[in-house]
Amino acid sequence: MDEHSYDVVVIGGGNAALCAALAARENAARVLVLERAPFGQHGGNTAFTAGLLRFAFNGNAQILELVPDLSPEMIRDTDFGSYSEESYYEDLGRVTEYRTDPELAGLLVSRSFETLKWMYGYGVRYVPPYGRQAYKVDGKYTFWGGLVLEVSGAGQGLVNFLTKAVQANDIDLWYGARGCSLLTEGSRVSGVRIRRDGRDETVYADAVVLACGGFEANAEMRTRYLGPGWDLAKVRGTRYNTGDGIMMALDAGAMSWGNWSGAHAVGWDLNAPAFGDLTVGDGFQKHSYPFGIIVNARGERFVDEGADFRNYTYAKYGERVLAQPGRFAWQVFDRKISGLLRDEYRIRQVTKVTGQTLEELVSKMDGVDPQGFLATVKAFNEAVDDTKTFNPNVKDGRRTNGLAIDKSNWSNRLDEPPFEAYAITCGITFTFGGLKITANAEVVDTDGNVMPGLYACGELVGGLFYLNYPGGAGLMNGSVFGRIAGSQAAQFAVHDSTAVPMDLPAQRVGNQMPFTGRAAD
Ligand SMILES: Cc1cc2nc3c(=O)[nH]c(=O)nc-3n(C[C@H](O)[C@H](O)[C@H](O)COP(=O)(O)OP(=O)(O)OC[C@H]3O[C@@H](n4cnc5c(N)ncnc54)[C@H](O)[C@@H]3O)c2cc1C
């Protein structure tokens, strides 16, 4: 069996792994990245993303630090606003029903801006997502919902930038190399057994970083942990995140942590393939629902489409679609809104029907009860309170009153033909449950002790996201904790791989603010 030896080995090939590898290389001589996917399908879920980033910042000056080539005209015509650390932290608390780990959340928030600057130093470039996260109001692009930058070239751009940096920094990167099990010596992790080109090999390492995603692409684990029906969800991203990293750590004694029955899941085109398609990326999502209505097979609404900005509801509404009869739903809009629909509603592969009347429309909406639908639209139209002006940039309070499920914002009557409807099902993005880590990204065992030599970051860490998720926090999570994990692993490997446990005070900075919105308990 072939044997290899490195200071640090990173398992995974997405954003968290590549950030970990770069951070490790700042302190360690020999770093290896193992990417299970073959070249061309590499980059994990990261490659499928829009590249949207949630980070704390204070006004235009800090945006210019990340996008120095923004033209004076763009700066003049754009209101980026600001997104304070307090707001970010509070948003994490609010959407997770205050279950998020305060220390991890504090680190994510307080390290977000500086980590993007660190990535900028490695060649990652950012652009404002004008098309998706801003509307032009009174001649100015105004951003809403805490997302003001995305990576240039989206997810594949991010993977390309980071891969280039990894290669330029003499880090070895093996494609088609699957981490299978951890090597241990007593309580210490000392390497990984892998499979490459059908052959088993051994990689010895002073420290191992697990960054190989959740279990969203594993139908058996989805059903086991998320529950019945989840085997029938579509996978939005990579087919390679089958829970390997979580399982190999649990086998070595790691503690399971976080929301194991929870996942990020969205409304996703009914006819999308079983796994993500890199040529379409996130184009199968349908995220303009706050401006229309969503109905099920009975023709009934089942969520408050306008409860909040899309960025704070989309990740939990996939599960609601999965719970509907037949596991599908239709989003419905009229002419007033069609110009506001996001780009994904115009892709070639979209499942769309149109009608000049609501009767014609519903006759084409496969599986929907026409009487139920027409009654729903009639009641909805009658309930719209149009004393408030429709404004997509703010929660406009234009609501319905008196319905079993009211719509809280952006309510418009469906009364101007042509009408459009889009068929969706549940698309799972990533799972929330995983491993427990310290603020140094050290993996913790079932006795609550650090497992010497083992670090984890990204999707496979539990404790940060519960029940829901604020858009753009997944990449930021991978970057912040990837950087911490890589740097800690390298310091452990190079300086102190025999002494355990370790405590590196420089990283213990989580700003454990109280959550202001939390109800007293
Ligand atoms: C369609 C879509 C759109 C999204 N849009 C956004 C967005 O705009 N902004 C945002 O913040 N988040 C977004 N997300 C979420 C985001 O993708 C994830 O939160 C983030 O990319 C996770 O990074 P990661 O490095 O932990 O995992 P991944 O990027 O999934 O990387 C995991 C890697 O591990 C590899 N791997 C798996 N098992 C093994 C093994 N046994 N051995 C070796 N390698 C292994 C995989 O091949 C993969 O390369 C989106 C997700 C999807 C699917």
C-alpha distances in Å from residue 427, one per residue of 89, 191, 318, 347, 419: 27, 35, 6, 17, 25
User: What would the mean pLDDT of 426-451 be, rounded to a whole number?
Assistant: 98
For the cut 80, the answer to whether the pLDDT of residue 186 exceeds it is yes
Task: Quote the pLDDT of residue 495.
Answer: 80
DSSP letters for 391-426: -TTS-----B-SSSS---S----S-SSSEEEEEEEE
Percent of the chain surpassing pLDDT 90: 87
For the entire predicted model, the pTM comes to: 0.94
pLDDT bracket for residue 79 (50, 70, 90)? confident
pLDDT bracket for residue 476 (50, 70, 90)? very high
Distance 270 CA to ligand 1 centre (A): 22
Chain segment 440-449, per-residue pLDDT in tens: 999 999 999 9
Chain segment 347-396, per-residue pLDDT in tens: 999 999 999 999 999 999 999 999 999 999 999 999 999 899 999 889 99
Distance 34 CA to ligand 1 centre (A): 14
Chain segment 385-395, per-residue pLDDT in tens: 989 999 988 99
**Residues linked to residue 33 through DSSP beta bridges, in sequence order:** 10, 173
Distance 14 CA to ligand 1 centre (A): 6
Q: No. of H helices and E strands in the chain?
A: 14, 22
Task: Quote the pLDDT of residue 513.
Answer: 63
Distance 276 CA to ligand 1 centre (A): 12
Pair of tokens at residue 331: 């989003």
Chain segment 477-488, per-residue pLDDT in tens: 999 999 999 999
Nearest CA to ligand 1 atom 48: 44
188 by DSSP, 3-state: which?
strand
Give the range among 205-214, 393-402, 506-515 with minimum mean pLDDT.
Answer: 506-515
User: What would the mean pLDDT of 132-149 be, rounded to a whole number?
Assistant: 81
Nearest Cα to Cα of residue 207 among 510, 450, 469: 450
Cβ-defined contacts of 183-191 (< 8 Å, 24+) = 184/252, 187/253, 187/445, 187/449, 187/451, 187/452, 187/500, 188/451, 188/452, 188/453, 188/500, 189/252, 189/451, 189/452, 189/453, 189/454, 190/453, 191/9
User: What would the mean pLDDT of 263-290 be, rounded to a whole number?
Assistant: 96
pLDDT bracket for residue 496 (50, 70, 90)? low
Percent of the chain surpassing pLDDT 70: 95
Among 9, 36, 41, 46, the mutation site with the greatest number of ligand 1 atoms within 8 A of its Cβ is 46
Separation between Cα atoms, residue 341 and residue 286, nearest integer Å: 9
Distance 281 CA to ligand 1 centre (A): 12
For the cut 90, the answer to whether the pLDDT of residue 187 exceeds it is no
Separation between Cα atoms, residue 465 and residue 476, nearest integer Å: 13
pLDDT bracket for residue 239 (50, 70, 90)? very high
Task: Quote the pLDDT of residue 517.
Answer: 64
For the cut 50, the answer to whether the pLDDT of residue 154 exceeds it is yes
Chain segment 314-327, per-residue pLDDT in tens: 999 999 999 999 99
Question: Which atom in ligand 1 lies closest to the alpha carbon of residue 154?
Answer: 8
Task: Quote the pLDDT of residue 393.
Answer: 86
pLDDT bracket for residue 137 (50, 70, 90)? confident
Nearest Cα to Cα of residue 34 among 218, 187, 240: 240
Q: Is the peptide bond before 501 cis (omega within 30 degrees of 0)?
A: yes
Sign of the torsion formed by the C-alpha atoms of 501, 505, 507 and 508: positive
Among 9, 36, 41, 49, the mutation site with the greatest number of ligand 1 atoms within 8 A of its Cβ is 49
DSSP letters for 112-138: HHHHHHHHHHTT--EE--HHHHEEEET
Task: Quote the pLDDT of residue 516.
Answer: 67
Average confidence score pLDDT of the chain = 94
User: What would the mean pLDDT of 137-148 be, rounded to a whole number?
Assistant: 82
Among 45, 48, 264, 480, the mutation site with the greatest number of ligand 1 atoms within 8 A of its Cβ is 45
Distance 213 CA to ligand 1 centre (A): 6
Question: Which atom in ligand 1 lies closest to the alpha carbon of residue 42?
Answer: 49
For the cut 70, the answer to whether the pLDDT of residue 53 exceeds it is yes
User: What would the mean pLDDT of 58-66 be, rounded to a whole number?
Assistant: 93
User: What would the mean pLDDT of 385-409 be, rounded to a whole number?
Assistant: 95
Give the residues surrounding ligand 1 with Cβ less than 6 Å away.
11-17, 34-37, 43-46, 48-52, 178-179, 211-213, 236-238, 240-241, 244, 282, 429-430, 458-459, 472-475, 478
